[in-house]
Structure 1
Amino acid sequence: MLNLLDEPLILIFIILFLGSLVGQVKIKGLSLGASGVLLVAMFFGHYGFEISSVVQNLGLSLFIVAVGLQAGPRFFRMMKSSGIVFGIIGFLVVFIASVTTIIVSKVFDLSAPLSIGLMTGALTSTPGLAAALEATQNPIASVGYGVAYPFGVIAVVLFIQLFPRVVKVDLKADLKKTIGPVRHQGSPQSLMVRVEKDEFHKKTLKELRLNNNSAVVISRVIRGDRSFLGRNDTVLLKGDDLIVVGYPEDIERFKNEVGSEETSEVKYADNLKLRRITVEANDLIGKSLREIKLRAKYGVTVTRIERGGFEFNQSPGWRFERGDVLTVVGSDRRLNEVEKLFGLRQYAETNIHIFSISLILLMGILVGMIPITVPGLGQMTLGVAGGPLFVAIIIGHFGKVGPIHARYFQPSNHVIRDLGLVLFLAGAGTKAGNGIVEVVMNEGLQLILGGAIITLVPLFVGFVVAKKLFRLSFIHSLGALCGGMTSTPGLGACNNLIDSDDATIAYAAAYPFALFFIAIAAQILALIL
């Protein structure tokens, strides 16, 4: 058996197999997930087995690029909206964790690699661990990560489950009364509104600037027995019925402005149909509704967009990702043309663009080699972790840059991410395992206590900042906290507290910022400690 383990491929797959088994074991609903591979790899590393650095760096590169491409579309969109509040919370959580790490390192006299590893484990951030290994060039950072990670997962989940009960808050009531950057809207809805106000009579939609407001979309206009699309040149008459799509609050505002709700049965004319169309064509990935001019060129209207299981009202600036599902209204002939435009093949190819992935990796590694001067501290580089992450976030935002295709079906992106992650953890674990026993015996209690402190301080301070300084609702505060701590198990606990996607929205807004700032913090801490 030991002779077989000398074969690199057999060693890799045995570690991945056993690590996956360990990661799937659940205790009170919690599991280690991919970190099970890290623990198993440490065990093998302790007995002298080691996976090649080439395999480790390949896994790291694939993982970081997949994470960056996934985060890119949200990152800059949130920076341009009120969602930047969640980004600030993500930054503050990482900043507080970094300051706490410096204090813990000095008080317990821990080495820089161990301290930075503790921080990434406390924040349950594997990309942070990658940046820590790159910055310190010391595999012992993985030991700190492995020690702090379990407590980091458990502490966040317990805080979210128990704290609302301790303070006895009604989460639904608190959400409704709290004014925050994300309104409690639910999914888009449709309503038929009767035009009754004189100022709307004989005016086009363009003159009224209704369709420039993405809050509601006029899907169609019903006049007697006729039904037609709401285009910019459509003239409204008093007594017309409008089918509008939007969030409840926006529809209510629109109804009061235009007229009143029409409660009679909607008479949809046979010439207009509703169809759900999946975005698949490479040429449209990264483009927006405004750029492709669907309404002007094809005479159809997009009323809703679904991504990752969540449904959103359409927005002219929304950039398409592969796998987005559009709800489109138009005639059968027009809908057939649009369906061909977006592509009918769903599973004909894996849609992983090797050329693009390779080019993004190459650009990212080159960017990671550029020296950056930090005043008073010296020079640093973004490295193999930060460089590809930075480039992937930027290209992920645009979706397509020249010949580079950067958006794939979510399952394809997950394949790249998960494969890269386990290869990276296997390599990092075997190197860290070589000295893990000595480190734990000498620093064991201090490591556990230090990791707990680095987890708890940002957790409590971050919540106070979100709730008191930014006056967010309880559930928004918890969701943003999970994003700042990069805790997916914590988000799962949030979603179990209340039947709402508000926690997910807050998490999704804070997570990309925290992801990026952890990578930068690891580099800066390597210079400070």
Structure 2
Amino acid sequence: MSLLDDPLILIFIVLFIGSLIGQIEIKGINLGASGVLLFAMVLGHFGYQIPAIVQSLGLSLFIVAVGLQAGPRFFRMMRSSGLVFAILGFLIIVVAVITTVIVSKIFNLSAPLSIGLMTGALTSTPGLAAALEATKDPIASVGYGIAYPFGVIAVVLFVQLFPRVLKIDLVKDLQKTVSPVKHKSSLKKMTIRIEDDTVHKLTINELQRTLKSTAVISRIIRGDRNFLGRNDTVLLKEDEIIAVGYPEDLNKLRDAIGTEITTDVKIRENLKIFRVTVDAQDMIGKSLREIHLRERFSVTVTRLERAGYEFPPSPNWRLERGDVLTVVCSPERIKAVQEVFGTRQHQEANIHIFSLSLILLIGILVGMIPIHIPGLGTMTLGVAGGPLLIAIIIGHFGKLGPIQARFYQPSNRVIRDVGLVLFLAGAGTTAGSGLVEVVKNEGVGLIIGGAMITIIPMVVAFIVAKKLFHLSVIHSLGAICGGMTSTPGLGACNNLVDTEDPAIAYAAAYPIALIFVAIASQLLVLIL
């Protein structure tokens, strides 16, 4: 009996050598966690098997972590300027599905192999998880393992070479194209003197409702007095107000009520600007309206920073852990505000086992519910789709009853990464037993088919982005990387220009692609 016959030793050998393979870089490209899958497939070919329960446990943890990560952005992005990028992400999945059906017919590939090819071409491990769950066939992992390396390399090459082939100056192209995103630097401050008679004796709330403005009036200067702007604060003619917002909103406010004051305005020392980080568990998932900061502490929030980008603070936006609020208040008030948002010392990890277990249990039960699709048959979301759906919904709200769904990002990454490698190790050894036979019989077809599923969606998405949405090349490429769920592609895109635009487009397209590739894997089982 060899050491590899012990399941526990086998698991850690696969994780150790597989992760070592995944770290090998060739011109900045590596396989990452997929190195575990490839090494596990080799061992599986020689008859070594990791218990199925390990694969199922890893799948559950990985899928829930992905859902909790995508949830806060998914529904909010639908109502924001990122919708155009989300549409591109969805388009890439639709084209990939159509291409997969064509490839399957042309090369006479089985449904599990074809679906595995698609998930590999899109470099989507959640898609592979859904494919294995839906097909109940480990051969899907073979298709994934064959198409994945090409999927990684093809996106990077597309991003680097396509602008050169078209001979486009990316900086000039970005400057002359109207950007659908707001940048961190877009938020400005403006001091305006009220001169319009119709504004006299209006409250701030009445003025903002009339103008439909998102600009925040943070302070009012009246003679030698300086006080915070509250919703019920009455404005008088000749007041000077300090407003924060996007330039177009500030200009609209200025044109409606008076003139801008460009000279330095004397601000009394009783009000200062502070930055507060959201950390307290009971604040996660709450909106600014629910917290009543102005009423309780005479504090005005002028900006909200999330993931490096600043936004005007909408009263309905729900807070996430790590949000940074810019507040205006008196120095004696700031300590109480900091205590509310939990800026006290906290633990490094906050994995809530009760919540995690309950989300998984509800998700698995939902995944068992049969869904009838007219003309195609009945499907279930399964162990992959059910937990993903529930995690996205609960992740959006942050907290539902006793369930806490907003973990610190390092904690969420621990759940995701551990789950991912356990899942890939189990899937790899199971698929490895049929690897050589499949490659012998379908070798050329798999390579050509995988290339088609990778390239065609990117080209179609680029044409639609340019011709229909009139996006810049860099926005188009960022959205394509998100739609292909390609982090290496985003890295290559970021190296083309010194701007945050590719990352913004990627972040908007990615969650849509992440979710719909899993759904597509389930639907293809009924179609093929």
TM-score band w.r.t. shorter chain: over 0.9
Asked whether 1:324 is paired with 2:319, we answer no
Secondary structure in 1 matching 2:495:
helix
The answer (yes or no) to whether the contact 1:205–1:211 under 8 Å persists in 2 is no
What letter is aligned with 1:217?
V
Quote the offset at 1:346 in angstroms.
4.2
The answer (yes or no) to whether the contact 1:221–1:240 under 8 Å persists in 2 is yes
CA 1:171–1:261 in 2, change beyond 3 Å: closer, same or farther? Answer: farther
Quote the offset at 1:178 in angstroms.
3.1
What letter is aligned with 1:487?
S
Asked whether 1:147 is paired with 2:146, we answer yes
5+ unaligned residues in a row in structure 2: which ranges?
none
What's the CA shift string for 1:453-503, capped at 9, x where partnerless?
100110101111222122223222222222211112222222222333232
CA 1:313–1:494 in 2, change beyond 3 Å: closer, same or farther? Answer: farther
What letter is aligned with 2:158?
F
What letter is aligned with 2:506?
Y
The answer (yes or no) to whether the contact 1:186–1:500 under 8 Å persists in 2 is no
| Residue matched to 2:412 | 413
What's the CA shift string for 1:187-237, capped at 9, x where partnerless?
523333343444434432123126995632122223344321111222334
Quote the offset at 1:385 in angstroms.
0.6
| Residue matched to 2:60 | 61
Equivalent residues in 2 for 1:80-119 (5 A)?
Answer: 80-119=79-118
The answer (yes or no) to whether the contact 2:119–2:127 under 8 Å persists in 1 is yes
| Residue matched to 1:231 | 230
The answer (yes or no) to whether the contact 1:123–1:149 under 8 Å persists in 2 is yes
Secondary structure in 2 matching 1:243:
strand
Asked whether 1:161 is paired with 2:160, we answer yes
What's the CA shift string for 1:406-458, capped at 9, x where partnerless?
11212211111111111111111111112212222222222111100100110
| Residue matched to 1:345 | 344
| Residue matched to 1:461 | 460
Quote the offset at 1:53 in angstroms.
1.2
Asked whether 1:439 is paired with 2:412, we answer no
Task: Name the CA distance, whole Å, in 2 between partners of 1:429 and 1:211.
Answer: 61
CA 1:493–1:215 in 2, change beyond 3 Å: closer, same or farther? Answer: farther
| Residue matched to 1:192 | 191
What letter is aligned with 1:390?
L
What letter is aligned with 2:481?
C
The answer (yes or no) to whether the contact 1:105–1:112 under 8 Å persists in 2 is yes
Secondary structure in 2 matching 1:327:
strand
Quote the offset at 1:177 in angstroms.
3.6
Task: Name the CA distance, whole Å, in 1 between partners of 2:173 and 2:297.
Answer: 45
CA 1:341–1:146 in 2, change beyond 3 Å: closer, same or farther? Answer: same
| Residue matched to 1:473 | 472
Equivalent residues in 2 for 1:380-419 (5 A)?
Answer: 380-419=379-418
The answer (yes or no) to whether the contact 1:60–1:421 under 8 Å persists in 2 is yes
Equivalent residues in 2 for 1:509-524 (5 A)?
Answer: 509-524=508-523
CA 1:136–1:182 in 2, change beyond 3 Å: closer, same or farther? Answer: same
What's the CA shift string for 1:26-59, capped at 9, x where partnerless?
1111111111111121122122221111111111
| Residue matched to 2:303 | 304
Stretches of 4+ aligned residues off by more than 6 angstroms: none
| Residue matched to 2:69 | 70
What's the CA shift string for 1:118-171, capped at 9, x where partnerless?
000101100000001001111111111111111111111111122122223333
Task: Name the CA distance, whole Å, in 1 between partners of 2:322 and 2:210.
Answer: 25
Secondary structure in 2 matching 1:276:
strand
What letter is aligned with 1:494?
C
What letter is aligned with 1:311?
E
The answer (yes or no) to whether the contact 2:481–2:490 under 8 Å persists in 1 is yes
Task: Name the CA distance, whole Å, in 2 between partners of 1:210 and 1:458.
Answer: 44
CA 1:22–1:285 in 2, change beyond 3 Å: closer, same or farther? Answer: same
Task: Name the CA distance, whole Å, in 2 between partners of 1:212 and 1:492.
Answer: 41
More deviation in 436-445 or 61-70?
436-445
What letter is aligned with 1:511?
Y
The answer (yes or no) to whether the contact 1:479–1:505 under 8 Å persists in 2 is yes
What's the CA shift string for 1:258-304, capped at 9, x where partnerless?
43443333433221122222212222211111222212222111122
| Residue matched to 2:364 | 365
CA 1:173–1:249 in 2, change beyond 3 Å: closer, same or farther? Answer: farther
Task: Name the CA distance, whole Å, in 2 between partners of 1:296 and 1:169.
Answer: 53
The answer (yes or no) to whether the contact 1:20–1:37 under 8 Å persists in 2 is yes
What letter is aligned with 2:341?
F
More deviation in 291-300 or 414-423?
291-300
Secondary structure in 2 matching 1:193:
strand
What letter is aligned with 1:342?
F
Quote the offset at 1:116 in angstroms.
0.4
More deviation in 451-460 or 45-54?
45-54
More deviation in 321-330 or 234-243?
234-243
The answer (yes or no) to whether the contact 1:20–1:34 under 8 Å persists in 2 is yes
What letter is aligned with 2:117?
L
Asked whether 1:288 is paired with 2:312, we answer no
CA 1:7–1:268 in 2, change beyond 3 Å: closer, same or farther? Answer: farther
Task: Name the CA distance, whole Å, in 1 between partners of 2:245 and 2:493.
Answer: 26
| Residue matched to 1:11 | 10
CA 1:47–1:77 in 2, change beyond 3 Å: closer, same or farther? Answer: same
Task: Name the CA distance, whole Å, in 1 between partners of 2:210 and 2:175.
Answer: 28
Equivalent residues in 2 for 1:201-212 (5 A)?
Answer: 201-209=200-208
Q: Aligned residues, how many?
A: 528
Secondary structure in 2 matching 1:235:
coil
Asked whether 1:24 is paired with 2:12, we answer no
Secondary structure in 2 matching 1:209:
helix
Asked whether 1:526 is paired with 2:506, we answer no
Secondary structure in 2 matching 1:326:
strand
Task: Name the CA distance, whole Å, in 1 between partners of 2:61 and 2:212.
Answer: 40
The answer (yes or no) to whether the contact 2:107–2:445 under 8 Å persists in 1 is yes
CA 1:176–1:241 in 2, change beyond 3 Å: closer, same or farther? Answer: farther
Task: Name the CA distance, whole Å, in 2 between partners of 1:397 and 1:226.
Answer: 42
Task: Name the CA distance, whole Å, in 2 between partners of 1:60 and 1:191.
Answer: 51
5+ unaligned residues in a row in structure 1: which ranges?
none
Task: Name the CA distance, whole Å, in 1 between partners of 2:20 and 2:257.
Answer: 60
What letter is aligned with 1:384?
V
Task: Name the CA distance, whole Å, in 1 between partners of 2:227 and 2:181.
Answer: 34
Quote the offset at 1:67 in angstroms.
0.8
What letter is aligned with 1:330?
C
Asked whether 1:132 is paired with 2:135, we answer no
Task: Name the CA distance, whole Å, in 2 between partners of 1:174 and 1:259.
Answer: 36
TM-score, normalising length: structure 1:
0.94
Quote the offset at 1:244 in angstroms.
2.1
What letter is aligned with 1:104?
V
TM-score, normalising length: structure 2:
0.94
Quote the offset at 1:63 in angstroms.
0.8
CA 1:374–1:281 in 2, change beyond 3 Å: closer, same or farther? Answer: same
The answer (yes or no) to whether the contact 1:15–1:37 under 8 Å persists in 2 is yes
Task: Name the CA distance, whole Å, in 1 between partners of 2:256 and 2:210.
Answer: 14
